[in-house]
């Protein structure tokens, strides 16, 4: 029997696949399984980047499993420490998550896209939020989407039922690249390998600082960064890797990152 959530290590890359026919819909137990994979990713120092995709070509995920809801699963169930989808609310996750959107990203699937660091979409992908049609609201989407899109576009998606195709999503900055379906995973892996070429602590410090300062002014963000209170930033400044970078440049050789 196929695992609902499978993970394969590709060197320092953890490739996670959601495989729950017919639409890769996510119930509480599936979200908990995704959270478990992302906790493993967060806590393993050998892993640098995660790629999440869906099985098949029609759905990345249809979002919340309405069949489970009709059987009594509550909207505010225990979805695991990472929240719905496994990673968007996971404390201490300062490593990049790439989504490879292989089809429709519906409801919670679209919200997962909003929470990712980088997104590659197949050219037939679609993004939409149908929640008002089933009597609820997209909790995360209601908060995140107006910060990512111009107000009229966000409102049309949230309350007007507008579907964004892959090129719409890229035009509005929700997606990094649009490629054919057979190029999807290779493109995601290329992005991951470019990230891996950088120093691990530097990458993590950037992600951590973005999370801490996104609600602050530039002045307040810089003050926080220079306060000495951001542990990963301070660790990065005094790390061996911070010395290795300039040294490798002077010696005209690739850097040998140690992550400390």
Residues serving a catalytic function are: 111, 131
- Residue 13 falls in which region: left (phi positive, over 0), alpha (psi -120 to 50) or beta: beta
What dihedral angle (degrees, nearest 10) is formed by the CA atoms of 6, 8, 12, 18?
Answer: -30
3-class DSSP assignment, residue 231: helix
Dist CA 98 CA 102 (whole Å): 13
Q: How do 118-122 and 13-18 pair as beta strands?
A: unpaired
CA distance 84 to 65: 11
At 232, give phi and psi (nearest 5°): -70, -30
Q: In what order do the strands lie in the sheet with 118-122?
A: 5-10, 13-18, 49-54, 97-101, 118-122, 177-179
């Amino acid at each position: 029997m196929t695992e609902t959530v499978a993970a394969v290590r590709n060197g320092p890359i953890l490739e996670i696949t959601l495989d729950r026919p017919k639409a890769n819909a996510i119930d509480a137990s599936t979200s908990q399984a995704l959270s478990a994979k992302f906790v493993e990713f967060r806590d393993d120092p050998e892993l640098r980047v995660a790629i999440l995709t869906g099985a098949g070509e029609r759905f990345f995920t249809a979002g919340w499993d309405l069949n489970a809801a009709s059987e009594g699963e509550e909207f505010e169930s225990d979805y695991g420490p990472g929240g719905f989808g496994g990673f968007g609310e996971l404390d201490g996750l300062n490593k990049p998550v790439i989504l490879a959107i292989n089809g429709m990203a519906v409801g919670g699937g679209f919200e997962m896209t909003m929470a990712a660091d980088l997104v590659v979409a197949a050219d037939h992908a679609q993004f939409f939020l149908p929640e008002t049609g089933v009597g609820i609201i997209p909790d995360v989407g209601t908060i995140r989407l107006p910060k990512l899109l111009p107000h009229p576009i966000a409102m049309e998606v949230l309350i007007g039922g507008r579907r964004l195709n892959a090129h719409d999503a890229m035009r509005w900055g929700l997606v990094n690249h649009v490629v054919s379906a057979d190029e999807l995973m290779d493109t995601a892996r290329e992005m991951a390998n470019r990230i891996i070429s950088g120093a691990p602590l530097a990458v993590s410090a950037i992600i951590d600082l973005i999370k801490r300062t996104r609600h602050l002014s530039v002045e307040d963000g810089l003050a926080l960064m220079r306060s000495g209170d951001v542990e990963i930033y301070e660790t990065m400044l005094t790390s061996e890797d911070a010395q290795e970078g300039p040294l490798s440049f002077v010696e005209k050789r690739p850097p040998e990152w140690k992550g400390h």
